């Protein structure tokens, strides 16, 4: 069917009228984004650290882990015992949702035995770890980022008068790391990591929410940034 000039103008006018008939109505893209935003607000994973699950708010995490408190650097932290060993835990939040947890063990006398035990325990929880060759390849390509939960935004402003440097600052500035084992599930990424400092070694379990991991990819955390700034002084 052929349309004359007036007919074509009429069709275009009708289409424009339909498109602008309700300018306040959200577009399909806006509706999809609203659905995603609503899902983010209600998201609570079945995984995380102990009774604190990915997606929980700071208040929910504090209710789940009442021994946790805000440290001088503004990070929610707690001291506990895991597998009969003292552990220091840092909990990181992204947009006020639990997104990462680091568990540091500073008093490991026998790292090899510790690794064997933790590998067994984490395998019981998350399934078989990735093959060592695959982990080595992923680390080399930068596909296994080693970053700190405390690098995320603090819950409150850091205390500038605090004298002690957080452990993450020391590790970022002086530590060398090796990812010993890695587990991935639909909800979590978990690294069993060995950190080496000039005078001592530290073992760590570093948990990360799989949902929030892509949003952390472009972030340079405060401790990583601070360590880089110190290195600039050497140039």
Numbers of helices and strands, H then E, in the chain = 8, 9
Contacts 24+ apart (CB under 8 A), 38-47: 40/97, 43/97, 43/211, 45/187, 45/188, 45/209, 45/211, 46/187, 47/185, 47/187, 47/188
Q: Give the integer Cα–Cα distance in Å for 166 and 71.
A: 9
Contact (CB, 8 A) for 81 and 97? no
Taking each helix axis from N to C end, the angle separating 222-232 and 167-174, rounded to the nearest 10 degrees, works out to 40
From first to last of its 235 residues, the chain has per-residue pLDDT tens of 454 544 544 444 445 444 445 667 778 776 666 655 555 667 888 899 999 999 999 999 999 999 999 999 999 999 999 999 999 999 999 999 999 999 999 989 999 999 999 999 999 999 999 999 999 998 888 888 788 999 998 898 877 666 678 899 889 888 899 999 999 999 999 999 999 999 899 999 999 999 999 888 776 666 665 655 665 666 6
Q: Give the integer Cα–Cα distance in Å for 65 and 184.
A: 24
In the chain, which residue ranges form alpha helices assigned H by DSSP? 5-19, 28-42, 58-64, 111-126, 132-140, 167-174, 213-216, 222-232
Q: Give the integer Cα–Cα distance in Å for 133 and 131.
A: 5
């Amino acid at each position: 069917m052929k349309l004359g000039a007036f007919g074509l103008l009429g069709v275009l006018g009708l289409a424009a009228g339909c498109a602008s008939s309700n300018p306040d109505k959200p577009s399909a893209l806006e509706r999809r984004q609203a659905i995603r935003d609503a899902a983010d607000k209600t998201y609570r994973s079945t995984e995380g650290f102990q009774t604190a699950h990915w997606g929980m708010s700071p208040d929910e995490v504090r209710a789940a882990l009442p021994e946790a408190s805000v440290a001088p650097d503004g990070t929610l932290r707690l001291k506990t015992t895991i597998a009969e060993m003292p552990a220091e835990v840092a909990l990181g939040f992204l947009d006020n949702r639990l997104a990462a947890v680091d568990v540091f063990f500073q008093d490991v006398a026998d790292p090899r035995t510790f690794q064997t035990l933790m590998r067994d325990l984490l395998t019981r929880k998350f399934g078989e770890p990735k093959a060592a060759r695959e982990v080595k390849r992923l680390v080399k390509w930068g596909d296994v980022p080693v970053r700190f939960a405390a690098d995320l935004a603090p819950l409150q402003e850091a205390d500038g008068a605090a004298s002690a440097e957080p452990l993450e600052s020391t590790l970022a500035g002086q530590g060398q790391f090796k990812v010993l084992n890695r587990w991935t599930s639909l909800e979590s990424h978990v690294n069993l990591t060995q950190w080496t400092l000039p005078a001592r070694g530290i073992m760590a379990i570093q948990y990360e929410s799989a949902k929030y991991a892509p949003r952390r990819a472009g972030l340079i955390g405060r401790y990583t940034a601070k360590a880089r700034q110190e290195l600039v002084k050497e140039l």
